[in-house]
Chain A
C-alpha cells in the first residue's frame, strides 16, 4: 500500500510559468515532508522540506504547501526555468512505528521553451 502518492507521472510547463507538483499521503503519523530533485545519471538532491507545524515553507523560487487535513502537499516553482526539468520525489517521515523516509514514485517535470 502506497503511503506517499504522486499521481502525475509527468508534467509539462512553459518556461516562466508556475510549476505545481502534487503529493498525497495516507499515514497521519507523518510529520515531516521533503522534496528531492533528480537529474538523469545523478543521485537525488534535497530541495526543500516542511514540518507539520507549518503550512508553508519558502526558499527562493520554491515553496512547499502542506494541508494536513487533506493529507496533501504541493511544491510550487515560480518562475519555472529550463534547469528545473528533472524528476521530483516527494518523501515523508515521522511515524515512530516505522523509522524510515518513504518516497513517492516521482513526477517528471518538463520545462518547455
Chain B
C-alpha cells in the first residue's frame, strides 16, 4: 500500500516566518504534488515535480517554493508566511505517466498563520 507521510498534522506559525512542510512517499513514485484545500475552493495545485530536482508551477505558486533533492521527498516552503496562507496542505504522489495514474494523498497539514 502506498504511504504518503506529511511530517506535521497541525502547525501554527507567525506572519513573516519561513515555513517548511515536508512530505515523504515510500512507493518510488516519480511524481509528487502539493495542493491546498480551502472551503468552497476545492483542491488547488501549488507545485508539482516529475523527477528529482525538477519542479513545475501549478495554479497558485505565488508565495511558495518547493524542493525535491531526493525522489521520495518533496518539500513545500512558504518564504514569508501570511495569514492568507492559512489552509489545509495536501501532498500527493503518483506513478510516471500520471495522466492515467491516480494520486495518493497524505493526511494533510493544517497550517494556521497568525
Contacts and interface: CB of A to CB of B under 8 A. Distances in A.
Interface stretch (A41-49, A56-64, A67-75): A41-49
Interface string B85-108: 000001010000011101111111
B34 interface: no
B103 A46 contact: yes
Q: Of residues B92, B98, B104, B105, which shows the largest number of chain A Cβ atoms within 10 Å of its Cβ?
A: B105
B48 A32 contact: no
Give the interface residue-count category, chain B: 20 to 34
Given A43-B90, A103-B35, A105-B40, 11 more contacts: A41-B9, A41-B110, A44-B105, A46-B104, A49-B102, A93-B100, A99-B98, A103-B43, A103-B44, A104-B42, A106-B43
B90 A100 contact: no
Interface of A: 6, 9, 32, 34, 36, 41-46, 49, 51, 89, 93-94, 99-101, 103-106
B45 interface: yes
A43 B105 contact: yes
A101 B42 contact: no
Contact of A94 (B4, B9, B99, B110): B99
19 contacts: A9-B40, A34-B102, A41-B107, A42-B107, A43-B4, A44-B43, A44-B105, A45-B105, A46-B102, A46-B103, A46-B104, A93-B100, A99-B99, A101-B98, A101-B103, A103-B35, A103-B44, A104-B42, A105-B42
